Amino acid sequence: MSDNFLALATQRRTIYALGKNLPLAEDEVIDLIKEAIRQAPSAFNSQSSRALILLGKEHEQFWELTRAQLKKIVPEENFHGTSQKLDGFAAAAGSVLFFEDQEVVTRLQEQFAAYADNFPVWSEHSTGIAQYAVWVALAEKGIGANLQHYNPLVDEDVQRTWNIPASWKLRAHMNFGSIMAPAGEKTYMDDDKRFVVAR
């Protein structure tokens, strides 16, 4: 690993205070996200990761759909805090919704039956790598991001609103935008509780 990569890994943080003023043109951000996902590795080169990139009003619509679903399950007396959190997400410039194509997973299970139980797990690895790749790529350009998980609550609304194929399984949503306030200090657990080195 180069010092460059570790510097970028350190720069990548969860940023909640996001704004709409991106340091790049929207098309450049879209290309960046696509290329980061394209270059992310996947088991058997399955390329099972899919993405819906939402900007502007489309991004805000996603969070309004999420708000409507949460309103059905969050008690009214607790909803104000939830609503404020959603306002913060909607304040970002855009979002990336990450999916895994289950048709790819099923096809690999049929093709390589001996590994059938592993392909859903490896698919989750693929989406995690794709999410991290996008996050680091955005951080390198000075774009903040945070990762959220309101699936499966919003799955049907997303599928219907943006005509998403039924085989795409929603895994996460990443908001991105200008950094309005930095992340807080990050702490790390002790190495001796986390790593085992054998020589």
CATH number of the domain bearing residue 132: 3.40.109.10
Assigned domain for 6 exists: no
pTM of the model: 0.96
pLDDT averaged over every residue in the chain: 97
Assigned domain for 188 exists: no
Size (the chain), residues: 199
Q: Is the pLDDT of residue 1 over 60?
A: no
What are the tens digits of pLDDT across the range 30-88? 999 999 999 999 999 999 999 999 999 999 999 999 999 999 999 999 999 999 999 99
Q: How confident is the model at residue 3 (pLDDT cuts 50, 70, 90)?
A: confident
Assigned domain for 105 exists: yes
Q: What is the dihedral of CA 192, 194, 198, 199, to 10 degrees?
A: -70
Cis peptide before 152 (omega within 30 of 0): yes
Q: Token match 């058997």: residue?
A: 44
Assigned domain for 141 exists: yes
The residue range of the domain holding 166 is: 17-181
Q: What is the pLDDT of residue 2?
A: 58
Neighbours of 63 (CB within 10 A): 24
Separation CA 172–CA 194 (nearest Å): 26
Number of domains in the chain: 1
Assigned domain for 94 exists: yes
